[in-house]
Structure 1
Amino acid sequence: MRQFLDFEKPIAELEGKIEELRRTTDAGGIDVAEEVGKLRDKAHKLLQTTYAKLTPWQKAQIARHPERPHTSDYIAGLIEDFLPLAGDRAFADDSAVLGGMGRFRGRAVMVIGTERGHDTESRVKHNFGMARPEGYRKARRLMELAGRFGLPILSFVDTAGAFPGIEAEARGQAEAIARAIEAGLDAPVPFIATIIGEGGSGGAIALAAADRVLMLEHSIYSVISPEGCASILWRDAAQAATAAEALRLTAEDLRKLALVDAVVAEPLGGAHRDAPAMLAAVSRQVWDSLEPLLALDGATLRARRREKFLEMGRAGVV
């Protein structure tokens, strides 16, 4: 059964009525096809109206929707012959970060991404997508491996941020994130990052210091979560909606600010309503972004990538 967000309750009620009428028909009752058709049209129009005027806070809720496609879904749907690689060669393997080699549209690539998990068991296993230092060290290792073998890097970002536990800080969380960013900037191969859900803080940019940064239409990307920002500025997490507005964290805002390169349109109602269509759209956009970069040499890629991020800093100062 589909999970509905709070602001989708009117849509949920209509779809619930449609399902009840379907069961009536299946049970051999009266023909209700005409009534179902009218309700479907009404539900579709309401969905269009609702999603045409989403607030930043509502977009944050969609970005976190538990049924949204995760990194593991993109790997399964877009990458052939995927060979997972584990461990940071220093401490342990971090299940919050998935990575490995495979083929994207016939081209050998390195894939890295944060994984949240789909149910309680898998979410605990993947630590809800919040990586520890060993996760970022694994990402760095795979980026360096990609550079050594000339493999373009594709990353998929969906994390609330790096794990904030004491043990993570004790093992060098900040240093691990910084080194992962450094590895991304220094990679002598094309690097395409896609924000598929929530892109939180340094935990996200560690996997997104890329030549091209793509964002799904209803994803978010910010230095801090709306709840965290509200807790700091207003000392009240209930002000999260206000914080979301101020943070300019939506794909539309970030594209206008030139902090991301392209926005990938989602199916009406969000990526979770039509995952195959979402994967197909991401595949097209990733390939369109990757193909022109394949002709560039490593030195050019590094120079352009570094200049891109330096320009963001200059624009911010101005």
Structure 2
Amino acid sequence: MAERLTARAALAAVAESFQELPEPEGPPAPPDGPLGWPGYDEARARATAATGETESVVCGIARIGGREAVAVSFEFGFLGGSLGQRTGDRLAAAHAAARERRLPVVSLIATGGSRMQEGMRALAQLQRVAHESALTRAAGLAQLAVARDPTTGGGWATLGAGADVILGLPGAQIGFAGSRVRPADADPAAYTAEAQLAAGHLDAIVAPDALAGTLGHYLALLTSPSAEPAEPPAALGAAEPPATGWAAVQGARAATRPRAPRYLDAYFETRAAISGDRCGGVDPGLLAGFGRHAGRTIAYAAQCGTRTTPAGYRTAARLIRLAGRLGIPVLTLIDTPGAANDAAAEHAGAGPAIADLFAAVATAPVPVTSLLIGEGGSGGALALAAPGNTWATPDSYFAVINPEAAAAILKREPAAAEPTANELRLRPQDLLDLGVVQGITAPRD
């Protein structure tokens, strides 16, 4: 189990300063709340005596990593960090303050869900919180969440899972179902930060002593909009384009050819990853996140030379839409023999995932720059390509289909793959002549 801090201790662990927001105005609560729940007022009084808080959440303006943010921190010791009417009042006021001051929102969550003693009045706060979060999102402001122990129920399904970047503490209980309402035979390991990361619902698990620095890093990257497109990275491999189509294919498939991690390391001074498609999947062959290049933030989605799965395409689409909301230009690195085409990929929605990524690129409100760094296999590669702003390295190729498959479709012998590659005009210089790419990048001097 992760260490359970009080709301103010959690704030002190990540913020250099904190100023609490004023208590929102509202009508006085009736005795024992909207349901007249016997003993509810006494339970609240005991919670206040034990924690020093008058509600389950503390909200204010914090400075984290030198950046101002509206911070929300849950006090689990106050009725299990549950959400009630006054909790909703405070959360709504916090989001309103974020929009008024143009600040990101950082939520440090530790909650068991909605407050039973307030019945449906408490549950309805989830709609209210979701509405406020949507308004903040529409205002182009970043929302970060830290899932502490536990983060369950509506708090997870709104402030947590609805955030742009979601971090978890090691061993934290995270899930919609709290520990007392899960099926008796449920595997407890499924409701952990580690399981949620593996399923694509968290971006990272961060140790408590690294949390302040990690939040500061994300805040610095996510609050730096820029209108200028990303410049394509310099080539890291071959300096000259290949003589033949087959040579282009062989060069792009060479084990020694530079892959996406090398390009990202060379291009960015620092970067912070996002992970997962928020639909139950992670593709380790698709890297995504935000980095600092030449003093400004660039978002990136990079294929690593493997077949991209539906989770990979959904993660890339998520990245591009997030960058669009935050006003951050995007760089995509294209390198795949094609989309995953096995039965599992079809069950997971390969076609819809690729269609969604095409739509995200086509409608991005920020400039997208693409660089073909290796194999460009059919629509599975084209989905990441920016129309009118795609470049190629000398050791790459782009084809409507790989030459072996093309030969098979044309009912040619397997040995015909080589001449078929030449006919497909898939070399970088061919792509330039055809107007598919804007240029061939050269190694930097």
Structure 1 length-normalised TM: 0.62
> Which of the numbers 309, 314, 333 marks the counterpart of 1:156?
333
Amino acid at match of 1:178: A
Tell me what 1:92 maps to: 281
* Alignment partners' CA distance in 2, 1:210 and 1:91: 30
Change in 2 beyond 3 A, CA 1:245/1:100: same
Which amino acid is the alignment partner of residue 259 of structure 1? V
Supply the distance in 2 between the matched residues of 1:99 and 1:195 (Cα, whole angstroms): 16
Measured on the aligned residues, the alpha-carbon RMSD in Å equals 1.7
The residue that corresponds to 2:366 in the other structure is 189
**In 2: Cα distance, 1:79 partner to 1:66 partner:** 23
One-letter code of the match for 1:104? H
Counterpart-to-counterpart distance in 2, 1:154 and 1:58 = 27
Task: Name the aligned partner's letter for residue 361 of structure 2.
Answer: G
For 1:176 and 1:75, the matched residues in 2 are separated by 24
The structure in which a higher percent of residues are helix is 1
1:131 Cα deviation (Å)? 1.1
SS in structure 2 at match of 1:263: coil
Whether 2:390 is the aligned partner of 1:201: answer: no
- 1:70–1:169 distance in 2 versus 1, CA, 3 Å: same
Ranked by relative contact order (alpha carbons within 8 Å, sequence separation 6 or more), the top structure is: 1
- 2:403 paired residue number: 226
Structure 1 runs, 4 residues or longer, greater than 6 Å off: none
Give the drift of 1:211: 4.2
Partner of 2:394: 217
Q: How many residues align?
A: 207
Distance 2:337 2:409 in 1: 17
Q: What CA distance in whole angstroms lies between the structure 2 residues aligned with 1:165 and 1:77?
A: 34
Distance 1:240 1:102, change over 3 A: same
**Distance of aligned partners of 1:189 and 1:113 in 2 relative to their CA distance in 1, 3 Å threshold:** same
Higher strand proportion, which one? 2
1:226-266 deviation per Cα after TM superposition (whole angstroms, max 9, x unaligned): 1110111134222111110111111111111111111123x
Percent identity between the aligned chains?
39
In structure 1, stretches of 5+ residues that fail to align are 1-47, 117-128, 266-277, 282-318
Find the counterpart in structure 2 of residue 55 from structure 1: 244
2:440 partner SS: strand
2:242 and 2:394 in contact (8 A); partners too: no
The 5-angstrom pairing of residues 1-318 of structure 1 reads 54-116=243-305, 129-265=306-442, 278=443, 280=444
8 Å contact from structure 1 (residues 155, 207) kept in 2: yes
What whole-Å deviation, never above 9, does each CA across 1:138-179 have from its counterpart, x for those lacking one? 000000000011111001111100011111011110111111
Counterpart position of 1:124 = none
The CA distance in 1 between the partners of 2:363 and 2:242, in whole Å, is 40
One-letter code aligned to 2:385: A
Give the SS at the match of 1:88: coil
CA distance in 2: counterparts of 1:251 and 1:153, whole angstroms? 22
Secondary structure of 1:254's counterpart equals helix
* Structure 2 equivalent of residue 36 of structure 1: none
**Distance (whole Å) between structure 2 residues aligned to residue 153 and residue 143 of structure 1:** 7
Distance 1:52 1:214, change over 3 A: closer
Query: SS in structure 2 opposite 1:130?
Result: coil
Structure 2: state its 5+ residue gaps: 1-237
Larger Rg, first or second structure (1 or 2)? 2
Q: CA deviation digits over 1:189-230, x for unaligned, max 9?
A: 111000001111111111113441001123100110011101
Structure 1 residue matching 2:323: 3-state secondary structure: helix
Assess if the C-alpha contact under 8 Å between 2:241 and 2:428 holds in 1: no
